[in-house]
Amino acid sequence: MDKEKITEILQGYDKKDITIGTLGGHSALDICSGAKKHNFRTIAVCQRGREKTYAQHYKTRNKKGCIDESLVLERFSDILKEENTKILQKKNTIFIESRYAWVYFERNAMESLALPIFGNRWLLKAEERDERPNQYDFLKRANIRIPEHFKPEDIDRLCIVKAPEAERGYERAFFFVKSYEDYVEKVAMMVKNGKVKEEELRKAVIEEYVLGAQINFNFFYSVVNDEIELMGTDTRRQTNIDGIIRIPADEQIELLKHERASYIETGHIACTVKESLLEKGFDAAEKFVTTLKKEASPGIIGPFALQGAITPENELVVFDVSLRMPGSPGIKATPYTEYLYGKPVSMGERIAMEIRDAIEQNMLEDVIS
Ligand code: AMP
């Protein structure tokens, strides 16, 4: 879907009657609750069988709830069908993307969605480590420190191998290696157990394991104000690693003889960083936004996150990037938006504020793709 076509769709919209739409999952409640605060109508596009959260529990009624309407489809990907897109166009829908754009769609399929999407739809694929340019390319060009990467035969320290799971390609089957021999042995075992596919392992990234305090900086780049805002900080909760780290070391050693550690997301913990580290986060964010403006025009629009760890030398090392709405509504519980706005502002609300400002300043075209 090219920008001209999207501009044409947007021109047909009644800007006084915009609906904010998203897929029913991931961060839809945050998006829609934020949108309601700024007087937008909301619609969740749901997949049959998993619509109750939106169509029932958080449905708007009696001054409660935030989902005005649910469009229930057989599959999320049916949103790409013309008949469904038309329904959303008629409601003047601006769409907000989340991680679901990968999990429930063919790679890059959402790029063809015939709706204005808040943010840069062309940039999202850079999250995928096997795309080029990908997040590592952009981080390097921005001169942001990332973990050192290794070829199997060069491994000389504790490394994490980032391979997708054989069954659910969007989930992670990470494992640790400390030498080439160790790598060969573990790969053979993982392939034999059907945990990862051999061809995927060839594409897997092997990177230095950063021994530091993990932290995700969740930012918002406002195109309207040309400013970066820190919306909140958090760390992840992942299964089963979160269970493993809560048992004594001798039990861990026993357990890991027959269980593998897995890193499947279950949620996040809002967690602050000491104030002297904020500038490191902002510095990296500024470099990242500037680089992407040049290298992936129009660059970042709205939410993005730099996820990494702080080393004992007080350095931020970034090992993952998110280029869309985060799935961690708890970041609102950290104090950073209150310092700016005098009250906590969620990422969903910040998006709604930007759309509202863009409408008022006739800049809507600059915040969508
Ligand atoms: P990712 O999906 O790449 O962000 O990684 C998932 C989890 O693996 C992170 O939340 C961290 O716990 C851990 N992790 C990933 N890469 C590294 C790294 N290079 N050093 C330390 N921990 C890492």
Distance 208 CA to ligand 1 centre (A): 10
pLDDT, tens digit, 9 for 90 and up, residues 271-307: 999 999 999 999 999 999 999 999 999 999 999 999 9
- Cα–Cα distances in angstroms (integers) from residue 313 to residues 281, 287, 309, in the given order: 15, 21, 11
The four Cα atoms 82, 88, 92, 98 give a dihedral, to 10 degrees, of -110
* Nearest residue (CA) to ligand 1, atom 11: 214
Q: Whose CA is nearest to atom 3 of ligand 1?
A: 320
State the pLDDT at residue 169: 67
CA of 211, closest atom in ligand 1: 21
Hey, what domains does the chain have and what are their CATH numbers?
3-118 (3.40.50.20), 135-143+212-342 (3.30.470.20), 152-208 (no CATH)
Q: What pLDDT does residue 236 have?
A: 93
Q: Does the CB atom of residue 263 touch ligand 1 within 6 A?
A: yes
Q: Is 160 in the pocket of ligand 1 (CB under 6 A)?
A: yes
Task: Tell me which residue of 308, 311, 334 sits closest to 322, measured CA to CA.
Answer: 308
- Cα(368) to centroid of ligand 1, in Å? 31
Q: What is the pLDDT of residue 99?
A: 92
Q: Give pLDDT, residue 170.
A: 67
Q: Which of 316, 318, 344 is nearest to 331 (CA)?
A: 344
* Residue 239 CB–ligand 1 contact under 6 Å: no
What is the predicted pLDDT for the residue at 265? Answer: 86
214 CB less than 6 Å from ligand 1? Answer: yes
Q: What is the pLDDT at residue 1?
A: 82
- Give pLDDT, residue 97: 96
Q: What is the pLDDT of residue 116?
A: 98
Q: Taking a C-beta distance cutoff of 8 angstroms, is the pair 246, 239 a contact?
A: no
The answer to whether 329 and 27 have CB atoms below 8 angstroms apart is yes
- Residues of the chain where predicted confidence (pLDDT) is lower than 70: 169-171
In 10 A of CB 154, how many CB atoms? 11
Residue nearest to atom 5 of ligand 1 (CA): 320
Q: State in Å: Cα 174 to ligand 1 middle.
A: 9
Ligand 1 centroid – CA 361 distance (Å): 40
- Alpha carbon 341 to chain centroid distance? 24
